[in-house]
Amino acid sequence: MYKAIIFDMDGILINSEPAWESAKFEAMKKWNIALKQQDADATIGIRVEDIARLWQVKFQLPSCETQRIEQEITNLAINEINTSGQPLDGVLDVLNQLKQSPLSIALASSSSLLIIDAVLDKLRIRNFFKVINSANQLEYGKPHPQVYLDTAHKLDLLSSQCIAIEDSVNGVIAAKAAQMTTIAIPPASLHDDPRYSIADGLLTSLLEVPEWLMQQDSDFYF
- CA neighbor of 193 nearest in space, from 184, 181, 182: 184
Catalytic pick among 10, 39, 150, 167:
10
* Active site (annotated) includes residue 156: no
**CATH number of domain containing 147:** 3.40.50.1000
Q: Give yes or no: residues 111 and 137 share one domain.
A: yes
pTM of the model: 0.84
Catalytic pick among 8, 39, 150, 167:
8
* Active site (annotated) includes residue 10: yes
Q: Give yes or no: residues 106 and 131 share one domain.
A: yes
Q: Give yes or no: residues 50 and 107 share one domain.
A: no
Burial of 34 (0-12, 13-18, 19+ CB in 10 A): exposed
pLDDT in tens, 2-42: 999 999 999 999 988 788 889 999 999 999 999 999 999 88
Say what the pLDDT of residue 19 is. Answer: 85
Strands (E), 40-187: 104-109, 131-134, 162-166, 181-184
Question: Lowest-confidence range among 102-106, 125-129, 214-218?
Answer: 214-218
CB 16 within 8 A of CB 10: yes
Domain that residue 182 falls in: 4-14+87-216
Average pLDDT on 56-66 reads 95
Q: Give yes or no: residues 131 and 173 share one domain.
A: yes
Q: Give yes or no: residues 70 and 142 share one domain.
A: no
- Counted domains in the chain: 2
